[in-house]
Amino acid sequence: AVTRRPLIAGNWKMNLNHFEAIALVQKLAFSLDEKQLSDVEVVVLPPYVDIRSVQTVIDADKLLLGYGAQDLSTHPNGAYTGEISGSMLAKLGCSYVVIGHSERRQYHHEDDELIAGKVRAALSVGISPILCVGEGLDIRNAGDQVAHVSAQLLAGLDRLNAEEVGKVVVAYEPVWAIGTGKTATPEDAQEVAGALRTLLSERYGEVAQSIRILYGGSVKSANVASIMAKADVDGALVGGASIDAEEFVSICRFPE
């Protein structure tokens, strides 16, 4: 059987200036040892303006922490005021980029086509997309969550071959659980993660066994271990709790 290395990714959202970012990364580095950082891959996803500072701390201290961005443009360069390209992020050493977060789908009206373009833009510069999918409360109440997130996933992976799909991380984030304090039960998370892996396997074959499927939505140190214990859940995308050093460190130590 394939063993998938768990990934804990902290989405800082629009929080922390670059000084605060440096302080947080230093605290994480101080609190997590080499063994913990090899058992679990730990990644921070700061706002764009913090990335250079985070890179400097991580490089200077040869820290085993990864980092990435929360979004990118579909365009490689040009007259797109306010946008940031994949190659700019790659130059800053980003390994990951969040794509299709529900806050961007909702507040910036990002649709599946745009999201698929962003996934391809990230892969074209060697950055792994963390592709977010998730249902709203109405869809969950109607029992249509698996169909809904399956459609979002296939749309986000549009035009990719199996090798490219193998570089994608999937984040299942039920919208009703994001920032609300309501966490899906481990069984809810497994139901969807398992269905997504089956779908990936039917469409792309063997590579589905190595793709990491994260759960996101009010993950905390108190609930992380029970969710991670599920067969198809390979990590967490953590929002609110990721800017609290102590809490995020406890989450990253979930195997202990």
Alpha helices, H only, the chain: 18-31, 34-39, 48-60, 86-91, 102-107, 112-124, 137-141, 145-156, 162-165, 186-204, 224-228, 245-252
Q: Which is nearer to ligand PEP, 42 or 207 (CB)?
A: 42
Contact between residue 190 and residue 239 where contact means Cβ atoms under 8 Å apart: no
CB of 42 to ligand PEP, least distance (A): 15
Q: Which is nearer to ligand PEP, 86 or 174 (CB)?
A: 174
Among this protein's residues, is 34 annotated catalytic? no
Q: By the criterion CB under 6 A, which residues form the site for ligand PEP? A: 11, 173, 178-179, 216-219, 237-241
Among this protein's residues, is 109 annotated catalytic? no
Q: Cα Rg for the chain, rounded, in angstroms? A: 17
Q: Which is nearer to ligand PEP, 29 or 177 (CB)?
A: 177
Closest residue to ligand PEP in the complex (CB): 239
* DSSP 8-state code for residue 166: T
Choose the catalytic residue: 101, 103, 110, 135.
Answer: 101
Q: Tell me the C-alpha distance between 230 and 228, whole Å.
A: 5
CB of 64 to ligand PEP, least distance (A): 23
Q: Which is nearer to ligand PEP, 97 or 207 (CB)?
A: 97
CB of 182 to ligand PEP, least distance (A): 9
3-state class of 94 per DSSP? coil
CB of 2 to ligand PEP, least distance (A): 25
Choose the catalytic residue: 18, 108, 173, 206.
Answer: 173
User: Residue 237: in which H helix or E strand, if any?
Assistant: strand 235-238
- Residues annotated as catalytic (active site), given as ranges: 101, 173
